[in-house]
Amino acid sequence: MGTVPRAWGPRGRAVDRRARRPGPSGAGRGMADTEPEPADGEPTGPEPQEAEQQEAEPTDPESTDPEPTDPEPRGPEPTASDPAESAPDGDAAEPLTTLSLPAQLIIAVAIAVAAVAAAIHLSAAFLNVSPPNTLTKRHGAAIDDYVYPEFERVWKLFAPNPLQQNIAVQARAEIRTSDGGTATTGWRDLSAQDGAAIHHNPLPSHTQQNELRRGWEFYVGSHDVRERPQGMRGNLSEQYIRRIVMLRLGREEDGGTVERIQVRSATTPVAPPPWSDEKIDTKTVYRTLPWWTVTSDDLPEAKRR
């Protein structure tokens, strides 16, 4: 082992060089260091503090982020809520259980049935108002049975000749008075009564909308200009019109008993718009039917009893 180097003090005393190096706390000069110095020629390792600093510092300078010279002010960082605090207590914390297989099958079948029903309804409604085609010629009866009377429409797609006139059905009665005489009532506008019942009504009755109008169309289509019936449909249309009129008038009218009725139509062409150059005569034209004698078959069931 080598000798410890010494230095000569002011009075010729030999002083250990380690005595002049302060200890770890920086105090106590002149105190001897207990750790022996390595001999001459032996490699010396780094000081303990320097070794700790070297171990703390990363070896790769690129792995460390440089400190910003002028850091921007930062707001308070949001604190993540504790899942244990945000989660509800008890069974509510668990996810909702899925539907059972039977319930899923029932829902799937219900959705499929609703989709098929909607498709059938829309198809039938479209074919009812569409121009004649292969489907309407082959399945026209089935389509009409489904549409009428609940889903009836009074318009057609691509109508070649839209209606340009107003038709009102009117009726009057010949009554037997209490003194044995007869009298004739005034004309009652049955179409106007239906129109008043439909006006401002969000859910009008199909009877008020279609019964009288379709009954009159049925009569006109089965009679000639001299009011002669064409086949059995002509007689059936007469019975239909008489029953509709008696249903509106009743057995008793103006203090007397109804014995005969008469029906007429008042047709008034629709005036053209102001910007049109078309000239149309808007005079009302009447079609008056002969008198019909009222029988028990023409009365409603409630009136017969």
Query: How does pLDDT run across 139-156, given as a tens digit for each residue?
Result: 888 888 888 877 777 666
Q: Which of 217, 162, 170 is nearest to 194 (CA)?
A: 170
Query: Tell me: the pLDDT tens digits for 198-233?
Result: 999 998 888 888 899 999 999 999 999 899 998 888
Q: Which of 6, 8, 9 is nearest to 18 (CA)?
A: 6
Residue 150 in tokens = 């609940």
The C-alpha torsion from 227 through 230 and 233 to 234, rounded to 10°, is 10
Average pLDDT, the chain: 76
Q: What is the pLDDT of residue 132?
A: 82
Q: What are the residues facing 261 on neighbouring strands?
A: 173, 292
Residue 96: band (very low, low, confident or very high) from pLDDT cuts 50, 70, 90 = very low
- By CB atoms closer than 10 A (0-12, 13-18, 19+), residue 189 is middle
How many CB atoms neighbour CB 190 within 10 A?
21
d(CA 82, CA 85): 5
Per the CB < 8 A criterion, the answer to whether 278 and 295 are in contact is no
Per the CB < 8 A criterion, the answer to whether 129 and 155 are in contact is yes
Max mean pLDDT range (8-12, 47-51, 90-94, 193-197): 193-197
How many CB atoms neighbour CB 299 within 10 A?
18
**3-class SS of residue 165:** strand
Helices 212-221/232-249 angle, 10° precision:
150
d(CA 171, CA 298): 15
The one-character DSSP state at 80 is: P
pTM here? 0.51
- Give the Å distances, CA to CA, from 86 to 23, 80, 93, 96: 56, 10, 10, 17
pLDDT for residue 66 is more than 60: no
Residue 172: band (very low, low, confident or very high) from pLDDT cuts 50, 70, 90 = very high
106 — phi, psi (to 5°)? -65, -45
pLDDT for residue 28 is more than 50: no
